[in-house]
Amino acid sequence: MATPIIMPKFGQMTEESAIVEWLKKEGDSVAKGDILFTVETDKSVMDVESFEAGTLLKIVVPPKVFVPVQSVVGFLGKPGEAIPGEAAPAPVAPPNPAPAGRVTPVLPPSPPPAATPPTSGALVRDAAATPPAPAPSPPALFRISPRAAALARRNAIDPAPIRGSGPLGRVIERDIKQYLESRGGGHAAIPGSPGEMAEKPVAMSRMRQIIAQRLTQSFRDTPHFYVTVPADMTGLMAYRNELKAAGAPYTITDFISQSVVLSLLEFPAVNSSTDGQSTLRHARVNLGLAVSIQGGLVVPVIHNAGAMALGEISAASRRLADKARAGKLTPDEMAGGTFTISNLGMLNVENFAAIINPGEGGILAVASVLPQPAVRGGQVVIRQMMKMTLSADHRLIDGAQGAQFLNAVKAKLEDMALWKRLAS
């Protein structure tokens, strides 16, 4: 009996996924470890390898169709082996049990062909005299790379008519970009009006649908409150410039991350979560860093950041951000966060508030460092100021506690002795 190929479950929150592209076709030989297909999850595109050798007997789920995780998407085995659901109308025995921990839906047997209605003798003679119509030619196989498919989805275009320049006519990312440029940037144009935006609904990408679903749930079910404080970054900006000139690759986000981690260790209530019935105080600080990518937002997580030095946090941040922008984050690298930082400092933002990620107790929204008038020693002077807004879950954190936590972050950012010790 053929072995079912199962749609894997990528991450705790993933309920369904779609195959972007089958890299093997029916009849191909498959070695253990070969990539069978690529899968689109809510945040990335992942390769799925074969756990055993054999022949790809049947593809059950075509590309671009979302199915529940743990569903059967194909069958692997020896040529000629029986495939569940393709036997005669007699009852079909269920397939071999799926690997441990996986649920395999049993495909129903194929329905019998519809009965042919009775015909008159004249009709039979006419039909026999008429030569049968030639069988239609099978459609050409449409090939597209995962990156090109993702770019097409983000711009709500159908890539099928695009002529591919890759191997075997495969549509690659460059082809999508050229098509978008020819259409005036990728907007859905009104027929006869090239370049004009069409006033019609455009389907949201899968990523945007998941973002909308989770943040709507969080904002609806979590009682948010907000606290904003300004931090004087004048000294730290100057020190960071000194470090940069000396070849140290620290960013302002690195200093903010370290300040948040140290403050979370002081205020464990902020590093906690709740289901509305009980509170879980996390033993480790798993720091999420929101990263904007084309078409959406991902939050890679620095696990056990409380045990890391400033240099280790900096290196982990760069590595995860690079993987996020390349679409190569693994589900484990986006799971398990206990607190998140969202930094829009590079976008000339004076102040903003963020929505708490589900399963966390708070999120810190960091705005731009801007020259602002400030009072120092009774005199009005210009300082480099940065506003930070804490969004906190009021079921876990009270207003005073949230303010104390945020002022602890501020105090660390303004403590130059601390940074000269940690960055040395």
**Whole-angstrom distance, CA of residue 312 vs CA of residue 287:** 13
Burial of 257 by CB count in 10 Å (0-12 exposed, 13-18 middle, 19+ buried)?
A: buried
CB-side exposure of 352: number of CA atoms within 13 Å? 15
Q: Quote the tokens at residue 202.
A: 């455009």
Q: Name the DSSP letter for residue 209.
A: H
**Which residues contact residue 73 at a Cβ distance below 8 angstroms, ignoring those fewer than 6 apart?**
5, 6, 7, 19, 37, 59, 60, 61, 67
Angle at 37 between CA 169 and CA 167, to 5 degrees: 15
| SS3 labels along 249-315 | CCCHHHHHHHHHHHHHHHCCCCCEEECCCCEEECCCCCEEECEEECCEEECCEECCHHHCCHHHHHH
Q: Quote the tokens at residue 377.
A: 């020693």
**Whole-angstrom distance, CA of residue 320 vs CA of residue 121:** 74
CB-CB neighbours of 328 under 10 Å: 12
Q: Which amino acid is at 189?
A: A
Strand order in the sheet with 35-40: 45-49, 35-40, 16-22, 66-68
Q: Hey, which residues are catalytic here?
A: 394
Placement of tokens 């460059």 in the chain: 174
